[in-house]
Structure 1
């Protein structure tokens, strides 16, 4: 593998001499993304493979295991919504006051928010496989314990530790994906990973419908079996994932040395020097959080977390309010999740092909707004309300992976991405606390979700505005750097300074 500068100008990656001549396959870059726009680079792919085959190899080693990990984590997080349908509240004396169920949801987010950044710092200290599989094991054990609690206090305790052990899994996985793929390659991978949550929603409802029938077995209610069996499966998988979860590209033993060099060179051209060898300091944390674009990234995500968790935690209750039995409710919860997965993946492929994020994010948010507006306005037609649930979940769970991918992949370097991704997820999950209390407002003994729908509309609008402001900030920064480059006002920067600056390096260009 070799990296050559000043190759002939060309737009976009190009394949040359892949077969027939025996020549070494190459990929040509035109200073795209993190590389200097005035330079031209040629990266040679190892002769024994092609870029397409190598990407497929990376996909098979990185994405499936992270998807399964997060599917199980999300399932263990939100299965309390399914358990509620099978008389969780009645058995644990949570009906008076009704807000006890909301409190049980909220307490999960306290450690989940507080420990995002420390967890990503520990991810860098240990290997991802060690840290993520340990969290996965402890998460499964806590879920099992959730199924054997005897009172409300026990449920609160297990929910707290559930949030603590899950805190590093989501931002850690997003951060890890960002370390493997160039920015125009990342959206469909991010979306596929993120939409393991929609698969978890669909799969969890089907699973709950089946497990719920075990009520009475060995003296346990159906809701207890949901926690016990789903938690036990997570524990079993965690042992295998200690050996299967991916590491950073520089540490991947399943890549040959020339393949590691090739992947590192591609990522360096797209994102700048990754800076794996440099540890994260508290000064790094302060510098990252002083960047107003980073603050906007958190607001973009916060605005969507309210509707996302509002739907994830309360969709079964909303559908149950239409008059369905517990089993019918679980089964009717499946189709919106399934359709959202397909829709999100289609949008992700188009977004990657066009190498654009902002417009797709904003349009998806508008789709969610339309769904929640219909839910609020139409109170008597169950079919229309059920259709509106499709629009809401399609919009929210399409916009969220776009926003997270867009923001994370625009952060250059390990340290800025580790801190920034944890900040976005941690700050954004404040929305989970909000969602827990704006839904399930009891009026005259009946559940009234109008406040929840109104809140979802309002926070979606906040997210859309933040998306526009973030896009404008990135565009203006790119224009300023381009102008300074053309006028020769950019000072020379050492490699060490580039590592420290990350995407603040003046040769870096943000993706819009």
Structure 2
């Protein structure tokens, strides 16, 4: 991965932290011989690379039920009415409820151990889907996949936020998020290949998709334990000087202070009364409806355009590839410009255009040509995946302190995944091929995402202005035991658009 600097530089001793931040080096007199570019490369290699690979296979296990929807599972398990949609949405119940407990455990655990354990267990649950005999067995498997995947995304966001400065973070997190897009494309291709194993061992093709993809996660869990980086202060791949450097630059990046290393009653009160967490969660609900609609139903949507089940898998691949490329381009620009809000608005508008086209497509035999409808699916998917990773990083950028970040991100991702329950219920097979309810609700939620993003941006600007005018400086007179555990309530913290 490309580093933040085109060439390695030695960080000089300095007495002016603000100038160091402006230069982008984030240096410290405690680490006079540290090369920022070298440190970033080390972090990218030991943190980003293994998490990216794990997310590819985790996302495969999450969405493969959507892949097999057009490959015979509904007929073989005799899924009547909304039974398939119930199997989809049961995943989200534990996924929403267990995000916060998982991140609290992660704070007091070795991340490599916790993440690799989750990977192993969701692999087992996913593989078991290949052996189910009825709808009840499928629902049970989906429930346990939700249990074990619950803490993965917020945990990764939390862990990454402890290593990267705010405007280094977006392109790393977007690269991480692109793993889901790669899984979408790879999942369609893999499903196409594995479906040809139908009959082997007496199992139909869709069963082999679950078995092989779950087995891949189980196998991956073992090396993950040894490859994933732990907390910066525990990182074995960093020297002692480099560890101090990482901690110093993180503190300087947010304007000083902003620690929350104790989870006491006062800390809980600060976390649970923070308006940013709730507005950020509403933003995420708005976008996750489309996120899961595309992840779970793209094969079905493409199938509704007139393609066969296998052709739908193949035609899904270019959609994911284009979305991945655009997502990475946007992530580079949003870090380069040190701005998030405008890109959220752009993605919302772009996806909304796609939904409007799909809503106005008309009947299959007299409406818009299939190629225009197919183009609209590109618009929806690309716009959605521009917005989704930016909203998580935007939240992480504006939460200060270990516990504030851990719990805040868990609330956002957990509460926001209510959007997955909504998506699971609005795309019903009986509404095919027009999916009028699905497209209409998804468009409404997309607009809601844009509106709440505006509320979030206005609130951040206002709070920064109050702090610049010294209207929060009374907090600096508090006892150090309180001031040192305030998170981003510390008036020295500055929020980022």
Q: What's the TM-score once normalised by structure 2's chain length?
A: 0.93
CA distance in structure 2 between the partners assigned to 1:217 and 1:86 by the alignment: 16
Instruction: Provide the C-alpha distance between the structure 1 equivalents of 2:318 and 2:56, rounded to a whole number of angstroms.
Output: 17
SS of residue in 1 equivalent to 2:486:
helix
1:320 aligns with 2:306: no
Report the counterpart of residue 455 of structure 1 in structure 2. Answer: 441
Q: Is the 8 A contact 2:258 2:490 kept in 1?
A: no
In structure 2, the partner of 1:417 is 405
- 1:16/1:67 CA distance change after superposition, 3 Å: closer
Stretches of structure 1 that go unaligned for 5 or more consecutive residues are: 1-12, 36-40
From 121, 132, 136, give the equivalent of 2:104: 121
Residue pair 2:154, 2:413 contacting (<8 A) in 1 also: yes
Distance in 2, Cα, partners of 1:320 & 1:212: 16
Give distance in 1, aligned partners of 2:196 and 2:237. 44
| 1:252-271 mapped onto 2 (5 Å cutoff) | 252-271=235-254
Aligned length: 486
Could you report, residue by residue, the CA deviation over 1:380-419 in whole angstroms, capped at 9, with x for unpaired residues?
3210010011111111011111111011121000010001
Asked if residue 361 in structure 1 is aligned to residue 344 in structure 2, the reply is: yes
User: 8 Å contact 1:31–1:269 — kept in the other structure?
Assistant: no
Deviation at 1:42, TM superposition (A): 5.7
Cα distance in 2 between the residues matched to 1:273 and 1:135: 33
1:337 aligns with 2:320: yes
Decide whether aligned partners of structure 1 residues 410 and 32 sit closer, same or farther in structure 2, where only a CA change above 3 A counts.
Answer: farther
For the 8 Å contact 2:30–2:244, the answer to whether it is kept is no
Partner of 2:201: 218
Distance 1:118 1:342 in 2: 34
**What's the CA shift for 1:441?**
4.9
State whether structure 2 residue 424 is matched by structure 1 residue 436: yes
Aligned-residue Cα RMSD (Å) equals: 2.5
Matched-pair contact (CA < 8 Å) for 2:68–2:206: yes
Equivalent residue in structure 2 for 1:171, among 154, 158, 176: 154
- The residue number in structure 1 matching 2:231 is 248
**8 Å CA contact retained: 2:281, 2:412:** yes
Which of 271, 280, 294 is residue 277 of structure 2 equivalent to?
Answer: 294
Tell me, yes or no, if the aligned pair for 2:90 and 2:142 is still in contact at 8 Å. yes
The CA distance in 2 between the partners of 1:134 and 1:24, in whole Å, is 42
Preserved CA contact (<8 Å) 2:27 2:248: no
Match 2:387 to one of 393, 399, 410 = 399
Q: Distance in 2 between matches of 1:253 and 1:300?
A: 37
Deviation of 1:195 (Å): 1.6
Cα 1:74–1:281 shift into 2, 3 Å: farther
* Residue of structure 2 equivalent to 1:470: 456
Matched, 1:193 2:167: no
Contact between 2:8 and 2:38, CA under 8 Å: does it hold in 1?
Answer: no
**Partner of 2:490 in structure 1?**
505
State the shift of 1:28 in Å.
6.6
Instruction: Give the stretch that moved more between structures: 345-354 or 320-329.
Output: 320-329
CA distance in structure 1 between the partners assigned to 2:377 and 2:9 by the alignment: 48
Question: Which residue does 1:43 correspond to in 2?
Answer: 28
1:441 touches 1:448 (CA, 8 Å); kept in 2? Answer: no
Find the counterpart in structure 2 of residue 10 from structure 1. Answer: none
Other-structure match for 1:110: 93
Partner residue in 1 for 2:470: 484
In structure 2, the partner of 1:4 is none
Could you tell me how far apart the structure 2 residues matched to 1:158 and 1:199 are?
A: 24
Are 2:116 and 1:133 equivalent residues in the alignment?
Answer: yes
User: Is the aligned partner of 1:387 residue 2:375?
Assistant: yes
Superposed CA deviations along residues 474-499 of structure 1, whole A, max 9, x for unmatched, are 000000000017x9766335553344
The offset of 1:45, in angstroms, is 7.8
TM-score (norm 1): 0.90
**Counterparts of 1:321 and 1:507, CA distance in 2:** 54
Q: Is the contact between residue 110 and residue 160 of structure 1 (CA under 8 Å) also seen in structure 2?
A: yes
Partner SS state of residue 400, structure 2: coil
- Tell me, yes or no, if structure 1 residue 233 matches structure 2 residue 219: no
Relative distance call for 1:29 and 1:17 in structure 2 (3 A) is farther
Mapped contact 1:212–1:226 kept (Cα < 8 A)? yes
Deviations 1:151-207 (A, max 9, x none): 111001111001001101111001111111110111101111112111110111111
By how many angstroms is 1:50 displaced?
A: 1.6
Comparing 278-287 and 391-400, the one that deviates more: 278-287
Three-state SS of the structure 2 residue aligned to 1:180 is coil
Q: What is the DSSP-based 3-state SS (H/G/I as helix, E as strand, rest coil) of the residue aligned with 2:54?
A: helix
Q: Structure 1: which 4+ aligned runs deviate by more than 6 Å?
A: 13-17, 25-28
Which residue pairs with 1:304 in the alignment? 287
CA distance in 2, matches of 1:204, 1:17: 39
| Unmatched runs of 5 consecutive residues or more in structure 2 | none
SS at match of 1:30: helix
Q: Report the 3-state secondary structure (helix = DSSP H, G, I; strand = E; otherwise coil) of the residue aligned with 1:510.
A: coil
Match of 1:88 in 2: 73
Alignment partner, residue 167 of structure 2 = 184
What is the Cα deviation at residue 270 of structure 1? 1.3
Q: Which residue of 54, 58, 68 maps to 2:53? A: 68
